[in-house]
Chain A
Amino acid sequence: MKEADLMLKHPLAKYLRQERMPHIWCEGCGNGILLNSFLEGLDELKQNLDRIVVVSGIGCIGRAAGYINVDSFHTTHGRAIPFATGVKLANPNLKVVVISGDGDLFAIGGNHFIHAARRNVDIKVICANNFNYGMTGGQYGPTTPLGSWTTTTPYGNIEHPFNLVHLAAASGAVYVARWTTLQVRRLKNSIKKALQKEGFSLVEVISPCPEIFDRYNKLGTAVDVMKWFKLISQVKHGYDPAKAEVAKNKIIVGEFVDIEKPSYGRLLREMTANVQDKLKGEK
């Protein structure tokens, strides 16, 4: 069989914009695994693809929006969440997913993240955390671990990183999970769970960046990094997100938050209906 025909036989082929394949990501980059898990989750949920919207910001992982065969938008840097919020509020029947990077979501877009979580906007955020700005050559960012080497921390990073799951939980997210790109099955399950829940969700995906971050930090090949994930990951469901660390010798993974709370969109629609009723009564 010709390779192009074989590509179309892949079980997830219909979810990809084939004309854009192969994607631009480097050999062993975790972004492809994240995309794979997301599409497999969509497939298993038998989602109506006309109801799915994917929004991303700028960065290597931001390309994901252009690769998925659903309505999608690649926003300006840091603005994926406000764009997604608008989409969701304008059409509550859509499932809106933000797929973006640690830099996009937590540096330039950090304020949008905390307030969307606080308001419990019904969007699902999947963050590829590769501990640096991959696309622009590997600058340090808000998740770069203390002491790590990047192009802009030539003497080692002296800033303390965010713990993303703690930040999301403290800001009000109803579903918060973290996996590495090695735990593909559990990652897929968390993505499915987030898609089925009402409210703001964060799925953090610890992801290799073999070409830049991992190379600067002498972590070896992508396979070495994945083996390291295997060695040091500890699954702790329901663990206190404040204590769920990401360290050289330990990465706590699992589901940390799974609660129910009315979403912003629901409260907005209820309020609007109440006010309209009241106005009708006054006429």
Chain B
Amino acid sequence: MPQKLWREPLDAQKTKLPKAEICIITDLCKGCGFCIEFCPKNVLEQSEQLNKKGKHPPEVTDESSCALCGFCTAICPEFAIFVVEKKGENNVGNEEKE
């Protein structure tokens, strides 16, 4: 979900927002749902897919709204999800303006 801004920030052309890459090791997931429930940006959703354990791992709905807070990484009891900064790629600040 792109963020709505009420005016263009003065440094929008210069500012780069880091881009997130969310990695999910689907077969490690036990489907507890913590990452989905507690993501402050609601970036994750339960997928239709069944993994090897017969569980539904999360899937990413919109990677660009990930704030890189790392809460999913920290709360996952299975070490099955982690988020890293995409190297060499940045969201230009005003790209998100509607």
Asked if B31 CB lies within 8 Å of chain A CBs, one says yes
Task: Given the known inter-chain contacts A3-B25, A32-B78, please indicate yes or no for A27 contacting B73, CB distance below 8 A.
Answer: no
- For chain B, the count of residues having a C-beta within 8 Å of the partner chain is 23
Write the A13-52 contact mask toward B (1 if CB under 8 angstroms, else 0).
1001000011101111111110111001000000000000
On whether the beta carbons of A36 and B38 are closer than 8 Å, the reply is no
User: Which residue in A12, A13, A28 is a CB contact (below 8 Å) of B77?
Assistant: A28
A188 to B74, CA, bound (A): 10
On whether the beta carbons of B33 and A3 are closer than 8 Å, the reply is no
A50 to B71, CA, bound (A): 28
CB distance from B51 to the nearest CB of A (A): 10
- In the complex, which residues of chain B have a beta carbon less than 8 angstroms from the beta carbon of A29? 77
A25 to B30, CA, bound (A): 10
- In the complex, which residues of chain B have a beta carbon less than 8 angstroms from the beta carbon of A182? 38, 75
Asked if A235 CB lies within 8 Å of chain B CBs, one says no
Closest to A34 in B: B77
On whether the beta carbons of B77 and A10 are closer than 8 Å, the reply is no
Task: Given the known inter-chain contacts A10-B82, A28-B77, please indicate yes or no for A222 contacting B32, CB distance below 8 A.
Answer: yes
- In the complex, which residues of chain B have a beta carbon less than 8 angstroms from the beta carbon of A16? 79
- In the complex, which residues of chain B have a beta carbon less than 8 angstroms from the beta carbon of A21? 28, 79
Asked if B59 CB lies within 8 Å of chain A CBs, one says no
On whether the beta carbons of B75 and A22 are closer than 8 Å, the reply is no
Task: Given the known inter-chain contacts A6-B23, A184-B74, please indicate yes or no for A36 contacting B79, CB distance below 8 A.
Answer: yes
On whether the beta carbons of A33 and B77 are closer than 8 Å, the reply is yes
Closest to B23 in A: A6
A198 to B31, CA, bound (A): 39
Write the B56-94 contact mask toward A (1 if CB under 8 angstroms, else 0).
000000000000000101111111001010000000000
User: Which residue in B37, B55, B79, B84 is a CB contact (below 8 Å) of A226?
Assistant: B37
On whether the beta carbons of B74 and A223 are closer than 8 Å, the reply is no
Name which of B23, B73, B79, B82 has the most chain A CB atoms within 10 A of its CB: B79
Write the B25-43 contact mask toward A (1 if CB under 8 angstroms, else 0).
1111011111001100000
- In the complex, which residues of chain A have a beta carbon less than 8 angstroms from the beta carbon of B77? 25, 28-33, 35-36
A185 to B73, CA, bound (A): 11
Write the B1-42 contact mask toward A (1 if CB under 8 angstroms, else 0).
000000000000000000000010111101111100110000
CB distance from A244 to the nearest CB of B (A): 24
Interface residues of A (CB under 8 A from B): 3, 6-7, 9-13, 16, 21-23, 25-33, 35-37, 40, 182, 184-185, 188, 221-223, 226-227
A-B residue pairs in contact (CB < 8 Å), sample of 6: A26-B30, A184-B74, A221-B33, A222-B33, A223-B37, A227-B37
The 6 closest A-B CB pairs, nearest first, are A32-B77, A28-B32, A27-B30, A184-B74, A223-B33, A223-B37
Interface residues of B (CB under 8 A from A): 23, 25-28, 30-34, 37-38, 55, 71, 73-79, 82, 84
Given A7-B79, A10-B25, A21-B28, 10 new contacts (CB under 8 A) = A3-B26, A11-B73, A11-B84, A28-B33, A32-B79, A33-B77, A36-B79, A184-B74, A221-B33, A223-B37
